[in-house]
Structure 1
């Protein structure tokens, strides 16, 4: 029976043969051929042609170059649900999974950071109201798979161009403390003329709570007194979002 290797159990070898040094044995043909097939399918059909576990395998190839990573990809998806959940998982949670060590954790967090940076570039310094779909994609990328609630504010100038996106609070699985005075204070510091409020529901259901509605009303009243517009409050769930504006709550 072939012994499955984790990254932590892999021996270290020199990149080239030298006197008195061991040389890494060649990959078993079934692993080598499987990796070759996956890479070819990705190049030919892109991500759309591959399920989450195969995309995850492609990422793990770099972190664990000398083992079959399919079982590890399956374990990660079983634990965190989907590829987005794997990438968003905190490192302490990732390392609870058998076979995950520093190299795997680093590879996954680099990929998460790259995805967030790409989405953010699509909305930063742009007219947000005419790029609404890109804004929703960005909010889902950074918030949909979080395991605790977080609250962000998008600050816009007079032309509704996004000038800043800042986290204003982080809480528990079902609550995040928000201080309306601090939100408005920061808007004045940045010279913002309008705001979009965003927070997530780790439960996956974006239905706002009574506390969400009350907090939004407090911020809206404080903003109105200073001539600052609240365009919307978005609640981000796992697969969909809720707009306070669309629901008549703002």
Structure 2
């Protein structure tokens, strides 16, 4: 088995399911930390700040990490726009505090008045009015950005709608394809590699969702480890043309080199 220096790890469905713990994940991460591996949670969830995510992992899931161990699609979106925008710094965002804070940290102005970009992410308090505004602004010329394409999120209640469901609604109403940032796109993975200071050959992507986590690794040329604790099933994965590098039923099965 390859001796990976870095592990990029998904959250929802891999590390926990909503408020429900996945004890094997905590044991897995402790083994990685004891072995001196780089651990970075690379998540498509744009709703929370890295500080909130790290605090949740420590207090509710017995995983001792800090905000530096977290890279969200909100951060990746803000980093992408920071490099691409130049002096075009006006953004209308459909999303929660994680996305808004990440954009403000990169000195973007959040406004519904002639924005340069419209960013659509997960928003549990979304309204028709917010989506209506996003659609009209994009149709008026703003560049359409989607944080991620997840159709669903696994939590303790089941598979609830993800950010991709909102992105698809706006896409349908505008008839415009968004620039997508999160998994399965390589954009978030390349930025995460830069943050970790590692090359793609040194890292394995760990996740439960073939269509996001594993495809992100494939699109980046990275190895992958699929764990069957969340969305994808063995039957679904068996039908895929490109298989994950590794698969396990539980992260307890993984041996850290």
Q: Same fold (TM over 0.5)?
A: no
Considering fraction of residues, name the structure with more helix: 1
Higher RCO (Cα < 8 Å, 6 or more apart): 2
Larger Rg: 1
Considering fraction of residues, name the structure with more strand: 2
TM-score by length of 2: 0.30
